[in-house]
Amino acid sequence: MSLSTLLVLADGRLPSGAHAHSGGVEAAVSAGRIHDLPTLESFLVGRTATTGTVAAAFAAATCRALTSGRSGVGTVPHARDEATPSDGDGARLAERVAALDDGIDVRTASPALRVASRAQGRALLRAVTRIWPAATNPAGPNPHHPIATGIAAAAAGLGPGDAALVAVYGGLTGSASAAVRLLGLDPYAVHALVARLAPECDRVAADAAARADDPVDDLPAGSAILLDLDAEQHAIWEVRLFAS
Amino acid sequence: MRAEARLVAEADGHGGTRLSTVYGEPPLLPRRTGHQQNQTAAEVHLVGGAAGPLGGDDLRIHLTVGAGAHLVVRTIAASLAQPSHPPAPSTLTITARVAAGAILDWLPEPTVAVRGCDHLSRSIVDLNEGATLRWREELVAGRHAEAPGDLRLETTVRYAGRTILRHDLAIGPRAKGWHAMLGRAAGTLLLVGKDAATAGPRAVNRMPLACGPAALVSATGPDARTVRAALDEGAANTLAHDPDAKPGNWRKG
Amino acid sequence: MRPDNRAVRIGIGGPVGSGKTALVAALCRLLAGELRLAVVTNDIYTTEDADFLRRAGVLPDDRIRAVETGCCPHTAIRDDISANLDAVEELEDRLGPLDLVLVESGGDNLTATFSKGLVDHQIFVVDVAGGDKVPRKGGPGVTTADLLVINKTDLAPLVGADLGVMARDARARRGDLPTVFLSLVGEPGAAPVADWVRERVAEPHHTPRDHDPAPAHTHGP
């Protein structure tokens, strides 16, 4: 695993469309639920424990599916390490990734959030296929964002834990940066908050990697009703700054 | 305490529903209560719900609805998830199977997370293609001004063999930041049926799911009454909607 | 090289209020009859510019796409162009082959330019009311745009702007790159810009940028 490559993928400046998504912050700000640092902290903690944890788990599971035949990748040895890739493996891989993509669908009640997730997945995939042209993508052009994150990590030679970290950390910093832009919060104070929450990202990512082979129905499914309801309202706003 | 309840509903051959099994062990005590507005349905109230669940409880409810039958299950009051001494987790497992052409309404009152509780409620619903479902889950964070214990609702719903909804609602000390994601009271009402996703006008909180003829109505609020009213409003105009439900009528609806 | 089946993409940038949307509307009026045309707008308020174009009746609704920029209009056209690429490709997929896509940036400052990964050519619009020293200040937009439009010349006497000074400074900054003085209130309106756009569309593929492939789809559904 290359730490620098992980940084490339986790960098907010990666051209993957993230800057146009607030992770629900724009709607929560408008509803008055985020208005200062403490309310932002509650939001980020809650989001990390629900949506962030789901994204991490599915990114890790996707990456695991794509890298399990590859030696020296990933943190947990896998039964298929010995197997020679074959057409049957390819079919099983495509089936697992499709099931994971469905898994995000059935965990995302809000149609607006499903659209936003696929838009971000598509954008990330666009970046990945330009940066790592040999990327394997069994998921079609518009995968959910966590699936695309797993594909990206695998293409970059990273493992499931890295994929999970990119997913949960990206969700955290994306939301935090949207709050800085929307509320004019002190960027140092917000980054101090992000730094305080970083160990939680590590914990979520480690858990995601440990469960990367679980059946899809057993993967995390923490639901955030307010994010769903906000997203549906936000999608019909006349005027908005962020796509989601 | 370990307890089980089993309800089996079947078509009676005359356009109505017959309960072929009504079985329960305390505190899961089912009572046939009839169904006022709908002669074709069989209605059961679980009357023991208010006593628990208590830490250490392992409660199981099995619901089976056969082709052409319509089963309505309610509880008479909110369930208070309570701690035990010494502390032990409590679980409630609900499994439901609904045949094609059958209707299941699982419309219990909310579960309240009392301080110190550690309760998991797990629901697994299997619907055959052509089944109709109304499945309500509501939770409240503590009694008045009380910090809640840990309460977690895990739900898996399958339609025609395929998972169409997977969600966990969690509040309490282990569910970090829950209040920013759910509010003090929260609930969902899953509607599966012919027009659940498509009926117009579409309420903003009735969200068509990605798969299946299904929509999830979601609500949060400061209390259970607000949540119930929002769920009822969101479900209005759907055939899958409970005919008894009236906005604001949270005991009955 | 621009592939045969892809529209020419022209970016239209410039500071807030310089008349980008009015220019896009005028170009649509002049070109919609002869070119297969669509517009992507990047205004910070996502529907505003698109609504302006719709109200002006210059293009059918389905030929206009608004892109959200997350408070960072320059990011969306320069550093992370993915949402704009998606919008352009979606228009081409939905409407069939197009000759021209105009990508209008959100109002920004003099440093905002389009990425060559997004557009083939760019027009930078400033106006005389912004002060006649704008061309002298330079900045990447004024200096490097393929066409500089100095707009609202009808206002020059009112704001005391010296068009001669602006022309001289623009030449000094831009060398051989063309500059057009424009007033959309009278004749000939946007015709000089429309002519320049026609030339770009008619050009054989000589653009320096690579094609952006759609996201890979190796196998599966």
Which of C46, C81, C216 has its CB closest to that of A15?
C81
CB-based contact (8 Å) between A119 and chain B?
A: no
pLDDT above 80: residue C45: no
DSSP string, chain B: -EEEEEEEEEE-SSSSEEEEEEEE-TT--EEE---SS-TT-EEEEE-SGGG--BTT-EEEEEEEE-TT-EEEEEESS-EEEB--SS---EEEEEEEEE-TT-EEEEEPPPEEE-TT-EEEEEEEEEE-TT-EEEEEEEEESSSTT----EEEEEEEEEETTEEEEEEEEEESTTSTTHHHHH-SEEEEEEEESTTTTT-SSPPTTEEE-SSSSEEEEEEEESSHHHHHHHHHHHHTT-TTS-TT--TT-TTT-
Flag whether C touches B (3+ CB pairs, 8 A cutoff): no
Provide the Cα torsion C124, C159, C108, A191; round to 10°. 150
Band of pLDDT at residue B194, cut at 50, 70 and 90: confident
For the record, the structure tokens of C28 come out as 């649509």
User: What does the pLDDT average to over C32-45?
Assistant: 86
- With 0-12 / 13-18 / 19 or more C-beta atoms within 10 angstroms meaning exposed / middle / buried, residue B93 is middle
For the record, the structure tokens of C100 come out as 């021209």
Whether residue B183 is contained in a domain is answered as no
CA angle A32, A36, A39 (to 5 degrees): 70
Residue C59 CA to residue B195 CA, distance in Å, equals: 36
For the record, the structure tokens of B128 come out as 């055959």
User: What does the pLDDT average to over B222-229?
Assistant: 96
Answer whether 0.80 is exceeded by the pTM.
yes
Band of pLDDT at residue C212, cut at 50, 70 and 90: very low
User: What does the pLDDT average to over C62-72?
Assistant: 88
Residue C158 CA to residue C164 CA, distance in Å, equals: 15
Contact B79, B108 (CB under 8 A): yes
Question: Where is pLDDT greater, at C185 or B226?
Answer: B226
Model confidence pLDDT, tens digit, residues C108-127: 788 889 999 999 999 999 99
Specify the pLDDT at position C216: 46
Band of pLDDT at residue C204, cut at 50, 70 and 90: confident
Whether residue B13 is contained in a domain is answered as yes
Segments forming the whole domain that contains residue A194:
3-235
pLDDT above 50: residue B249: no
For the record, the structure tokens of C209 come out as 């940028």
Residue C11 CA to residue B226 CA, distance in Å, equals: 50
Residue with tokens 């394997």: A136
Locate all alpha helices (DSSP H) within chain A, ordered by sequence. 3-10, 25-30, 37-47, 53-67, 87-107, 111-131, 145-155, 160-183, 187-210, 225-235
Collect all residues of chain C within an 8 Å Cβ-Cβ radius of residue A18: 80
DSSP string, A192-236: HHHHHHHHHHHHHHHHHHHTTTS-GGGS--B--HHHHHHHHHHHT
Residue A107 CA to residue A70 CA, distance in Å, equals: 30
CB-based contact (8 Å) between A194 and chain C?
A: no
Whether residue C220 is contained in a domain is answered as no
User: What does the pLDDT average to over B199-221?
Assistant: 93
Looking at every residue in chain B, the average pLDDT score rounds to 91
Collect all residues of chain A within an 8 Å Cβ-Cβ radius of residue B182: 224-226
Lowest mean pLDDT among A10-19, A55-64, A207-216: A10-19
Per the CB < 8 Å rule, is B163 touching A107?
no
Give the DSSP letter of residue C160: T
Contact B40, B65 (CB under 8 A): no
Residue of chain A whose Cα is closest to the Cα of B170: A222
Segments forming the whole domain that contains residue B170:
2-178
User: What does the pLDDT average to over C82-98?
Assistant: 94
Lowest mean pLDDT among A104-108, B3-7, C59-63, C144-148: C59-63
Interface of A with C in 30-89 (CB under 8 A): none
Collect all residues of chain A within an 8 Å Cβ-Cβ radius of residue C72: 19-20, 181
Looking at every residue in chain C, the average pLDDT score rounds to 86
For residue C188, whether the previous peptide bond is cis, meaning omega lies within 30 degrees of 0, is yes
Band of pLDDT at residue A73, cut at 50, 70 and 90: very low
Which of B166, B216, B220 has its CB closest to that of A226?
B220
Whether residue C213 is contained in a domain is answered as no
Residue A132 CA to residue A130 CA, distance in Å, equals: 6
Nearest to A72 by CA among A189, A184, A157, A168: A157
Give me the CATH number covering residue C38: 3.40.50.300
Distance from CA of B153 to the nearest CA of A (A): 10
Number of domains, chain A: 1
Could you tell me what percent of chain A has a pLDDT over 90?
A: 86
Could you tell me what percent of chain C has a pLDDT over 90?
A: 63
Rounded to 5 degrees, φ, ψ at A130 are -85, -35
CB-based contact (8 Å) between A33 and chain B?
A: yes
Lowest mean pLDDT among A132-136, A238-242, B70-74, C95-99: A238-242
Band of pLDDT at residue B246, cut at 50, 70 and 90: very low
Segments forming the whole domain that contains residue C151:
8-202
Does C16 carry a binding-site annotation? yes
Question: Where is pLDDT greater, at C220 or B200?
Answer: B200
Whether residue C148 is contained in a domain is answered as yes
Distance from CA of B211 to the nearest CA of A (A): 7
Flag whether A touches B (3+ CB pairs, 8 A cutoff): yes
Residue of chain A whose Cα is closest to the Cα of C44: A241
Specify the pLDDT at position C211: 46
Specify the pLDDT at position B236: 86
Does C19 carry a binding-site annotation? yes
Specify the pLDDT at position B233: 93
Whether residue A241 is contained in a domain is answered as no
**Sequence-distant (≥ 6) Cβ neighbours of residue C26 within 8 angstroms:** C184, C189, C190, C193, C194
Whether residue A240 is contained in a domain is answered as no
CB atoms near residue C109 (< 10 Å): 12
Number of domains, chain C: 1
Rounded to the nearest 10 degrees, the angle between the axes of helix C82-95 and helix A111-131 is 100
Whether residue A188 is contained in a domain is answered as yes
Give the DSSP letter of residue C44: S
For the record, the structure tokens of C118 come out as 């997004």
For residue B27, whether the previous peptide bond is cis, meaning omega lies within 30 degrees of 0, is yes
Identify the helix (H) or strand (E) that includes residue C74: helix C73-74
CA angle B125, B131, B135 (to 5 degrees): 45
Specify the pLDDT at position A90: 85
pLDDT above 90: residue C66: no
For the sheet with C100-104, list strands across it: C64-66, C37-41, C100-104, C8-13, C121-127, C147-151, C179-181
- Give the three-state DSSP class for A86: coil
Model confidence pLDDT, tens digit, residues A16-39: 999 999 999 999 999 999 999 999
Specify the pLDDT at position B244: 55
Residue C26 CA to residue B228 CA, distance in Å, equals: 53
**Sequence-distant (≥ 6) Cβ neighbours of residue B229 within 8 angstroms:** B247, B248, B250
Give me the CATH number covering residue A206: 1.10.4190.10
User: What does the pLDDT average to over B159-187?
Assistant: 97
pLDDT above 90: residue A71: no
pLDDT above 60: residue A74: no
For the record, the structure tokens of A100 come out as 């994971």
Lowest mean pLDDT among A92-96, B151-155, B184-188, C71-75: C71-75
Which sign does the torsion angle of CA A127, A130, A135, A140 carry? positive
Model confidence pLDDT, tens digit, residues B1-49: 899 999 999 999 999 999 999 999 989 999 998 766 677 899 999 987 5
Model confidence pLDDT, tens digit, residues A174-205: 999 999 999 999 999 999 999 999 999 999 99
Kindly list the partner chains of chain C, i.e. chains with 3 or more CB atom pairs below 8 Å. A
Specify the pLDDT at position C138: 87
Specify the pLDDT at position B252: 35
Model confidence pLDDT, tens digit, residues A146-175: 999 999 999 999 999 999 999 999 999 999
Number of domains, chain B: 1
Kindly list the partner chains of chain A, i.e. chains with 3 or more CB atom pairs below 8 Å. B, C
pLDDT above 70: residue C133: yes
Residue with tokens 């809650």: A46
